[in-house]
Amino acid sequence: MKIAVIGGGLAGLCAAWLLSPRHRVTLLERHARPGFVASSVAVDGSAGAPRVDVPLRVFYPGYYPTLVRLYQALGVASEPVSYAATFCGADGRAYFRWRILGMGAQAWPYVLPQDLLTSRARRIAAGALAFRGLARLALARDELNGLSLGDFVTRHGLAPAFVDGLLLPTWATIATCTHADALAYPAAVVAGYLAAGVAHQSVRRAVLGADEVAARLVAGITRVQCGAEVQALRADDCGVQVRQADGQDEAFDHVVLATQAHQALALWQGAPPAEAAALAAFRHRALEVVMHRDAALMPRQRGDWSAVNARVLPGLDSPEATIWVNAVQPGLRDAADVFQTVQPQREPRADRVISRARFERPLVDAASQRALATLQRLRAKPGRRVWLCGSYAEAGVPLLESAVRSAHAVAAAIDAAAGL
């Protein structure tokens, strides 16, 4: 069959790669490079320089089993990296930090005694231990259905020092959202993430970065068209017409919309009402990522620098997370310091900015979970021609793992529709 995949993020690349051995697949990507790597940069701006993923693409094997299998199938090697963290206030002084013990398959976060000299740090550490135990027990007993993270915090009376100083900034950094968004997250999703071994597994990255992943996927796709601005699509019983910016229509048997939910809704003319309503229920949060060399956005004392450095202020609705890229990308360990700041609250010096990139991240809440259940039910409807694919379209935190799982689900459904 002739299939179009619209969107070259990891979900779209993976779906096109999975379908290409049995179908004629065209991947349509609006950027000059596949979306998965459209914002990656060479840190010194020259050819052959180590490229940095923007945003960084890291994973825990326990929570990302489908991604791990994809990397293995592609022959992509991965390596453990440190993800120690420091939390600072407005003055740039660290009020809490954890370090990482072990760098093989196993790694454990720990806190040194000298990092617990303040009562605030001790309350945070005690709250973290209590939360982990309570969340694991509640998940095992299936007691989290219908509860948000905020509900769980209130029910158990968790200390504000822990909630405001560690829990919300950490989850808002993982999910790249605001503290209010973090409180609305389903408690079962948060507990499921923690239960997947993230407390004792090394964080890993592809040794050659996302560029290698994208290149290996692209090599297995029938046709890749970058710089393609899709304007609209319309389906009927015979197929799907896809219109690009030049006004030309092209007919396909099936189309995979590997975009954000609201983008899929905007492109899909005549979408069935139930599907349109479900897509409209997904919320998104704008996200800025700045690559730079301004150490002023790091903790005041260099001895407090960690791989991840969160700046947390009571009056701000999200943490400012600055990644010390040299600490998480071995090829840059001996290079000049380079940083990646996510959700910046301050401007790095203009002469030290390397790049800026803007993204939209799907949010998970009770409404999105209901919408997801609707979409998954409608996916099984016979005769469909348009398929929805992306990190938002599978359960869990919308990260690389759910993107790849979504691609597998869509590819299997299209093959089934084709009688394969």
Residue-by-residue pLDDT tens, the chain, 420 positions: 999 999 999 999 999 999 999 999 999 999 999 999 999 999 875 566 779 999 999 999 999 999 999 999 999 999 999 889 999 999 999 999 999 887 677 788 888 888 898 999 999 999 999 999 999 999 999 999 999 999 999 999 999 999 999 999 999 999 999 999 999 999 999 999 999 877 788 899 999 999 999 999 999 999 999 999 999 999 988 899 999 998 889 999 999 999 999 999 999 999 999 999 999 999 999 999 999 999 999 999 999 999 999 999 988 899 999 999 999 998 898 899 999 999 999 999 999 999 999 999 999 999 999 999 999 999 888 889 999 999 999 999 999 999 999 999 999 999 998 888
Residue ending a domain, among 362, 379, 395, is: 362
Residue ending a domain, among 321, 337, 362, is: 362
204 Cβ neighbours under 8 A, 6+ residues apart? 58, 59, 60, 61, 78, 79, 80, 81
Whether 313 and 345 have beta carbons less than 8 Å apart is answered as yes
Q: What is the chain's Cα-based Rg? A: 22
82 inside domain: yes
- The answer to whether residues 309 and 321 belong to one domain is yes
- The answer to whether residues 111 and 86 belong to one domain is yes
59 inside domain: no
Whether 82 and 327 have beta carbons less than 8 Å apart is answered as yes
314 inside domain: yes
Domain that holds residue 315: 78-205+284-362
Tokens of 134: 């309570």
192 inside domain: yes
* Among 198, 192, 188, 189, CA closest to 62: 198
- The answer to whether residues 38 and 26 belong to one domain is yes
- The answer to whether residues 302 and 197 belong to one domain is yes
Question: Whole-angstrom Cα distance, residue 94 to residue 304?
Answer: 7
- The answer to whether residues 258 and 393 belong to one domain is yes
- The answer to whether residues 224 and 337 belong to one domain is no
Structural domain count, the chain:
2
- The answer to whether residues 201 and 213 belong to one domain is no
* Among 304, 302, 303, 294, CA closest to 95: 304
Tokens of 320: 């400012």
How is the beta sheet containing 284-292 ordered, strand by strand?
Answer: 108-110, 94-101, 85-88, 308-311, 320-324, 339-342, 284-292, 353-362
57 inside domain: no
- The answer to whether residues 166 and 44 belong to one domain is no
CATH code of the domain in which 160 resides: 3.90.660
Residue 21: Cβ within 10 Å count: 9
- The answer to whether residues 46 and 123 belong to one domain is no
- Residue 144, helix vs strand vs coil: coil
How is the beta sheet containing 386-388 ordered, strand by strand?
Answer: 223-226, 24-29, 2-6, 254-257, 386-388
pLDDT value for 149: 98
CATH code of the domain in which 264 resides: 3.50.50.60
- The answer to whether residues 83 and 165 belong to one domain is yes
- Residue 323, helix vs strand vs coil: strand
E strand residue ranges, 8-93: 24-29, 41-42, 51-52, 58-59, 78-81, 85-88
pLDDT value for 45: 59
- The answer to whether residues 377 and 349 belong to one domain is no
25 inside domain: yes
- The answer to whether residues 112 and 123 belong to one domain is yes
58 inside domain: no
248 inside domain: yes
306 Cβ neighbours under 8 A, 6+ residues apart? 82, 84, 85, 86, 97, 99, 299, 324, 327
pLDDT value for 415: 95
